[in-house]
């Protein structure tokens, strides 16, 4: 059995450049041209090029490309205080004219992340409108069961109207408003 760990002294290669020995052999395929449109493999030396590897075609990094003004998750600027108050007021008052939960839902989804004040008011208004829809369905079922006598329960929507007006006025002043009777589904 021969010992493979020993080499004759004259064939001992030295691979470090500071000892002045021979240089290591080039990796397989070194100097070959990359295939057209395909993966070229790592660059010479095995280290990424200065600035990193290029992105593949059609790839957009999360949050946009910083070279084109992206780089964050929200590329839209934050709303001013007056704009937040205006949209918060509208999210409370427009459901009165029959748009129900659609207005606060659209305001919340469109302006999400552009102002904490507006986002809180839109969620509060949306939760209240969902609560009113649930109440309307329940009153309708009760009215059918009681042969119309349950329609008197629709008078409960008068205080709801007052609450919406109070919420709109409070939002316009720049203060937070919490509905007294509200199922908070969306947090």
For residue range 90-149, what is the model confidence (pLDDT) as tens digits? 999 999 987 788 999 999 999 998 999 999 999 999 999 999 999 999 999 999 999 999
C-alpha distances (whole Å) from 167 to each of 50, 89, 97, 163, 172 are: 57, 8, 15, 6, 9
Average pLDDT over residues 33-45: 59
Higher pLDDT, 163 or 13: 163
Q: Is residue 148 part of a domain?
A: yes
- Report residue 160's pLDDT band, with 50, 70 and 90 as the boundaries: very high
Question: Tokens at residue 118, please?
Answer: 């507006």
State the total domains in the chain.
Answer: 1
Question: Tokens at residue 117, please?
Answer: 């004040």
pLDDT tens digit sequence for 82-97: 999 999 999 999 999 8
Q: Is residue 61 part of a domain?
A: no
Higher pLDDT, 20 or 180: 180
Domain with 93, as residue range(s), is 81-173
Q: Are 74 and 114 in contact (CB under 8 A)?
A: yes
Residue 24: predicted pLDDT: 60
Q: Is residue 128 part of a domain?
A: yes
Average pLDDT over residues 53-59: 62
Q: Is residue 118 part of a domain?
A: yes
Q: Are 139 and 153 in contact (CB under 8 A)?
A: yes
Q: Is residue 11 part of a domain?
A: no
- The alpha carbon of residue 106 and the mean position of all alpha carbons in its chain are separated, in whole angstroms, by 16
Q: Is residue 151 part of a domain?
A: yes
pLDDT at position 15 over 80? no
Q: Is residue 167 part of a domain?
A: yes
Q: Is residue 37 part of a domain?
A: no
pLDDT at position 155 over 80? yes
pLDDT averaged over every residue in the chain: 78
C-alpha R_g of the chain: 34
Residue 71: predicted pLDDT: 47
Residue 98: predicted pLDDT: 79
- Report residue 72's pLDDT band, with 50, 70 and 90 as the boundaries: very low
Average pLDDT over residues 39-63: 60
Residue 53: predicted pLDDT: 60
């Amino acid at each position: 059995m021969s010992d493979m760990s020993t080499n004759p002294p004259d064939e001992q290669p030295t691979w470090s450049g500071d000892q002045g020995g021979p240089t290591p052999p080039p990796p397989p395929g070194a100097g070959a041209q990359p295939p057209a449109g395909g993966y070229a493999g790592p660059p010479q030396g095995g280290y990424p090029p200065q600035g990193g590897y290029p992105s593949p075609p059609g790839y957009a990094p999360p949050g946009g490309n910083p070279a084109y003004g992206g780089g964050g998750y929200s590329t839209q600027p934050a709303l001013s205080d007056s704009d937040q108050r205006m949209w918060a007021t509208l999210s409370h008052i427009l459901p009165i004219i029959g748009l129900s939960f659609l207005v606060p839902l659209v305001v919340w989804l469109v302006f999400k992340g552009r102002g904490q004040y507006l986002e809180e008011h839109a969620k509060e208004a949306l939760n209240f409108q969902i609560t009113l829809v649930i109440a309307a369905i329940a009153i309708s079922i009760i009215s059918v069961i009681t042969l119309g006598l349950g329609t008197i329960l629709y008078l409960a929507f008068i205080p709801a109207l007052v609450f919406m007006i109070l919420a709109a006025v409070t939002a316009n002043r720049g203060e937070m408003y919490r509905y007294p009777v509200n199922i908070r589904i969306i947090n």
